[in-house]
Amino acid sequence: MQTLLIAGTSAQVGKTVVLSALMAYWQRYKTSSAGVIKPLDFERLSQRSEPAELDCERFKRLFNLAQPVREITPVLLRSAVLPPIEATTGDPIDFEQLWQTLQQSQQRHELVLLEAFGGLGTPLTFETTMADLAWDWRIPTVLVVPVQPNLVADAVTNVALANQSRLHLKGIILNELPRTARADPDNQADRDLQEDLQDSIELIQSLTRKPVLGYIPRLDPNSLPQLTRAAAGLALEQILPGLELLRSSA
């Protein structure tokens, strides 16, 4: 049984895409079951001001999971307000419940993929961050860093936090953000980033002493073939030992 936490430098950096890529690859080449947990999430509205599809609902639909949505996401916050602030006006997060959900999922699945809430530095209480929770639960972690102008600084500061929190950080995965999330209409920033990407990777690895485990290109997050191909380009033997052998034996 393996468990992996997909963490990020912040919200909306591609954690869901990375988790989906790994899950798509597993389902393509592995016969045993895998579970998904996003312990915390918050309700959103679509552009039509209607309730938007939650990530737990998307995971269940995309991967045809037997897990109920309440197991995938046990805690659903009312808004994007930080958990410790929301807890001052409501019920605090029951971390024991979250831990029990994880343990139950580990007993049922050969692989459990967790998606972190926000970034490693996102506070969960007034005393703990997401990084602290990863250490408390002893979960191996990969850090998703978006490909944007400050990607080196993002990587360095978050790895420093990971080291301070003593969590087991396997390495870094770079993710190309959707074009709609970028503010450069002529894509000159995109071209500059791509030209300098290898230099940035070498700099990140030199400064953090952590490997860059791959790069997720811009893709359709609902396309299983695209997600599977993206995962195949990652250093799977370092992310989930044994996973890279599945394709050759399938």
The residues assigned a catalytic role are: 38
Query: Cα separation of 226 and 220, whole Å?
Result: 7
Radius of gyration of the chain (CA): 18
For residue 217, say whether it is annotated as part of any ligand binding site.
yes
For residue 214, say whether it is annotated as part of any ligand binding site.
no
- Of 163, 142, 151, give the one whose Cα is nearest residue 231: 142
For residue 242, say whether it is annotated as part of any ligand binding site.
no
Q: Are 172 and 159 in contact (CB under 8 A)?
A: yes
For residue 155, say whether it is annotated as part of any ligand binding site.
no
The full DSSP string for 52-104 is PPPHHHHHHHHHT--S-HHHH-SEEESSSS-HHHHHTTSPPP-HHHHHHHHHH
Alpha carbon distance, N-terminus to C-terminus of the chain:
20
For residue 219, say whether it is annotated as part of any ligand binding site.
yes
For residue 175, say whether it is annotated as part of any ligand binding site.
yes
Query: Cα separation of 162 and 165, whole Å?
Result: 5
Query: Cα separation of 172 and 159, whole Å?
Result: 9
For residue 207, say whether it is annotated as part of any ligand binding site.
no
CB burial of residue 48 (10 Å; 0-12, 13-18, 19+): exposed
Q: Are 167 and 135 in contact (CB under 8 A)?
A: yes
Contacts of 231 (CB under 8 A, 6+ apart): 21, 22, 24, 25
Residues in the annotated binding site? 16, 55, 115-118, 175-176, 217-219
Residues in the annotated binding site for ATP? 55, 115-118, 175-176, 217-219
Residues in the annotated binding site for Mg(2+)? 16, 55, 115
